[in-house]
Structure 1
Amino acid sequence: MSFLSRLFGKKQEPLPAPASTEGPAEFTFKQRVEGFWEWFEGVAPRFYQTIEDKQSTTLTDETSSAVDRFLPRLAWNYGPGENRRGHSLTLSGEGIKPEQILAEEWRKRAPKLEGWTFYAERQASPDPGDFTIRIGEIEFKPIEFWVTPVIDEEEERVDLSVWHPLADGENKGAFQTVLFLFLDEIFGEYGTGRWIGSIDIGKDKLAQSLPITELKEFVEETVRSRAWKMHVPFDLWSGYRIPEDKIDLNRPRLDTISGSSLCFGPLAGFLDNPAAAEDPFCPLGANWIYLSFNSSFFGDRNPVDVRGDIEERIDAQLAAAQAGKHIGGAIGIQRSYIDFLVFDGQRSIDIIRESARAAGMPDETRIEYLAADKRQRGRRLF
């Protein structure tokens, strides 16, 4: 669904699939991205001129239909290009990490088109105080939002207490939507996710508040004085382990003693209840799979080094074919695991199989799906 249709609830008719995307039962992420760029290359000159003529609103239906067809769940918008030159197209995960990861993969595959810049995050506005957002009959202006920032030294973020005349009552939902849109305008999507912590709504701290338009200066000074570092979602990993009192050798992956993940949220749901686990990458044609093998395979060797070498070798082959990426792994008491996000269905699995065999993985290695409704596909890799 496009950014505009999310914001205003506008329904769009789906774009008929081009002949090149008809046929395969599985519309993989790789096929979706290739189909999108084939479509956009064809319309790019016309779209560029339309925006130059200040008629960009006439592109709404056509763009929404294409995004909904190829890359649903990603939001879109047009804007200025890099260094304010030319124009840009942004496809954004809107702060949802699985979708942010896939949006970045979409951006990495962008063709070079004259005058165009492509982003995988909503960009900060050079003048975030100079616009209004209308939802229904209500207009919101940035100057109406008052915030009290509180520095969280441990989490390296700034918590906010926010007040607006419509913060309570029947317009609370609209207020919350606009608040996050304004924050993205001020910091950009990644900046909001990195620097803004918890948000409380109310006027308890109104006496210490400042206009939201002055928040960026406060945060920038806070970040600079404390030397906090910027992190982007597709490079931010989490470590984890199963507490001793929760270890269960009879449940999938609950023997883990040390693991890391690029996207821990879905894995946490799997560890909590495998029978109900969902894969948030599936709606965009990607799949979270993992290799499971006996930890005795390591023998006297360093498990971290051995697993790391295998991960790198498989990841390199997937990257060469734009067919997937390594997103985590774990060492367990009985079994150990390597996680991959696959972009091209069975073709990705074939690459993993060939690479894993070349890396010397044991014959009993199994390939499993994170999603409960695909669990029956789990099987021996070789």
Structure 2
Amino acid sequence: MRDSVVMDSGSQNETGQSFEHEPTFKQRVTKFWQWYPTVAERFFETIEAGKCGSLVDEVAEYCESTIPGLSWVFGPGENGGHSFTLSGEGQIAKQLLAEYWLQRAPEIPKWTFHASRQATPSEFVKGFAISVDEGNRVDVDGFQVRTHVDDERQKIDILAWHPVLERVPQAQHFTILFLLVDEVLGEFGTQTWLGEIKIEPFTPDAYTRSLSDLPEFISHVNTYHKWEKLPPLETYCVYQLKETKPSPRGDTVVGSSLIPKLVFDCIDNDGKLSEDPLKNMGAELVYVAIDGSVFPEGQQSDVRANIEDVLTDSLEKELSGQTLGGAFGLNESYIDVLLVDGQESRRIVSETLAQLQLASRSRIESFVD
């Protein structure tokens, strides 16, 4: 049985702990990694004693005050150890912060750290189940899935059903399925391999298998089709606007980004996101707008890529953020950036642009108000 306790750290500081200034995400991560080594041995011994649940309040309280907005879970580690996972629950912007947290993790004996929920080891998948309303249990072996391979999209569509769902409110069906799919494939596995997902009763056929057998099936499909799949945090989406708009970034023609949905939301809402995905987390999404006349005809792509590379190097050198892609517009070009160290990150971006002689021909704009 896995030693699994899952919690969402929420977005509020409920511990009463006060900061002189609102800490940046970089400062929050530094604080977390100063703390964890001091409790790691005690946590290990507590989990070994079968008392993992007794740690929930302590860990939840600390995470709520230090790294709010991310979910956490204990689980099995390597070589008989245990693991601690921090997750953005599939939201790319938050997943990038979880990845930043992981990159700064120190080596701690008996502990493994992850920035997304991992697939349950195959020896534990069989028989895995979760309890739902009125004592009903939904197990992975009884969850049937009919698969359809979409080679063009390099995705596998599934139709899924479990008999117990007949006694469970429909509003809970997808939550139950995704909890189990994440256990079987891991958080990134779900995003990487699955396409359209439907839940409804169906008659099993030759394309039907148990949910617990899905990882093996995906492995066979990938071997046969030779799909070249990148993890979600390395997958850039190419996009274009069908028509330009008289609004910030509305002149965009074509772009490539790790956060295309947020870019479209920004453009559709007059240059500002309808909701801040990183609220209260000490990080922010911005974009650099650069005068289009900077880019020589025929060399626009290379020049913008060079600017992005220099910004990336400057931010990563100081552990202060990363670039996320960008776009070309009729009047300006754009580079999307994740900043994790507040004004210090902005200073690095401004100084880098100045060094590139772009100070008077560029500006930094926030994705939110």
TM-score of the superposition, structure 2-length normalised? 0.91
* Percent identity (aligned): 36
Structure 2 residue 239 is matched with structure 1 residue 240: yes
Contact 1:294/1:335 (8 A) holds in 2? yes
> 1:247-326 counterparts in 2 under 5 A?
247-248=244-245, 250-274=246-270, 277=273, 278-300=275-297, 302-326=299-323
Distance, in Å, in 2 between the alignment partners of 1:265 and 1:361 is: 28
- After superposition, the Cα gap between the structure-2 partners of 1:155 and 1:107, relative to the gap in structure 1 and judged at 3 Å, is same
Distance, in Å, in 1 between the alignment partners of 2:194 and 2:240 is: 27
CA shift at 1:348, angstroms? 0.5
- After superposition, the Cα gap between the structure-2 partners of 1:138 and 1:367, relative to the gap in structure 1 and judged at 3 Å, is same
Structure 2 residue 144 is matched with structure 1 residue 146: yes
Which residue identity does 2:68 align to in structure 1? Answer: P
- After superposition, the Cα gap between the structure-2 partners of 1:254 and 1:314, relative to the gap in structure 1 and judged at 3 Å, is same
Q: Secondary structure at the match of 1:4?
A: strand
Residue equivalent to 1:67: 63
Moved more, 297-306 or 71-80: 297-306
CA shift at 1:207, angstroms? 3.8
Structure 2 residue 192 is matched with structure 1 residue 179: no
Distance, in Å, in 1 between the alignment partners of 2:63 and 2:365 is: 30
CA shift at 1:288, angstroms? 0.9
- After superposition, the Cα gap between the structure-2 partners of 1:283 and 1:206, relative to the gap in structure 1 and judged at 3 Å, is farther
Residue equivalent to 2:223: 224
Q: Secondary structure at the match of 1:144?
A: coil
Distance, in Å, in 2 between the alignment partners of 1:196 and 1:293 is: 37
CA shift at 1:106, angstroms? 0.9
Distance, in Å, in 2 between the alignment partners of 1:215 and 1:300 is: 50
Of 74, 88, 105, the residue aligned with 1:78 is 74
Distance, in Å, in 2 between the alignment partners of 1:113 and 1:153 is: 42
Distance, in Å, in 2 between the alignment partners of 1:275 and 1:88 is: 40
- 1:320-341: CA deviation from partner (whole Å, max 9, x where unpaired): 1111111121221111112211
Of 343, 348, 352, the residue aligned with 1:351 is 348
Contact 2:248/2:271 (8 A) holds in 1? no
Contact 2:88/2:116 (8 A) holds in 1? yes
Residue equivalent to 1:47: 43
Contact 2:327/2:334 (8 A) holds in 1? yes
Q: Secondary structure at the match of 2:141?
A: helix
- 1:110-154: CA deviation from partner (whole Å, max 9, x where unpaired): 111111110011111122123321235332222221111111111
- After superposition, the Cα gap between the structure-2 partners of 1:268 and 1:134, relative to the gap in structure 1 and judged at 3 Å, is same
Distance, in Å, in 2 between the alignment partners of 1:180 and 1:45 is: 32
Contact 2:13/2:65 (8 A) holds in 1? no
Residue equivalent to 1:132: 129
- 1:55-102: CA deviation from partner (whole Å, max 9, x where unpaired): 2111111111222222223221111213x4311101112222222111
Q: Secondary structure at the match of 1:258?
A: strand
Residue ranges of structure 2 left out of the alignment (5+ in a row):
none
Structure 2 residue 85 is matched with structure 1 residue 111: no
Structure 2 residue 368 is matched with structure 1 residue 366: no
CA shift at 1:109, angstroms? 0.9
Q: Secondary structure at the match of 1:63?
A: helix
Residue equivalent to 1:120: 115
Which residue identity does 2:217 align to in structure 1? Answer: F
Distance, in Å, in 1 between the alignment partners of 2:7 and 2:102 is: 22
Residue equivalent to 1:167: 165
Which residue identity does 2:279 align to in structure 1? Answer: C
Residue equivalent to 2:14: 14
Moved more, 191-200 or 132-141: 132-141
Distance, in Å, in 2 between the alignment partners of 1:97 and 1:3 is: 23
> 1:178-197 counterparts in 2 under 5 A?
178-197=176-195
- 1:188-233: CA deviation from partner (whole Å, max 9, x where unpaired): 1111111111111112343442222222221111111111123212
Distance, in Å, in 2 between the alignment partners of 1:59 and 1:180 is: 25
Contact 2:136/2:164 (8 A) holds in 1? no
Contact 2:149/2:157 (8 A) holds in 1? yes
Contact 1:329/1:339 (8 A) holds in 2? yes
Contact 1:266/1:279 (8 A) holds in 2? no
Residue equivalent to 1:31: 27
Q: Secondary structure at the match of 2:145?
A: strand
Distance, in Å, in 1 between the alignment partners of 2:230 and 2:217 is: 19
CA shift at 1:3, angstroms? 6.6
TM-score of the superposition, structure 1-length normalised? 0.88
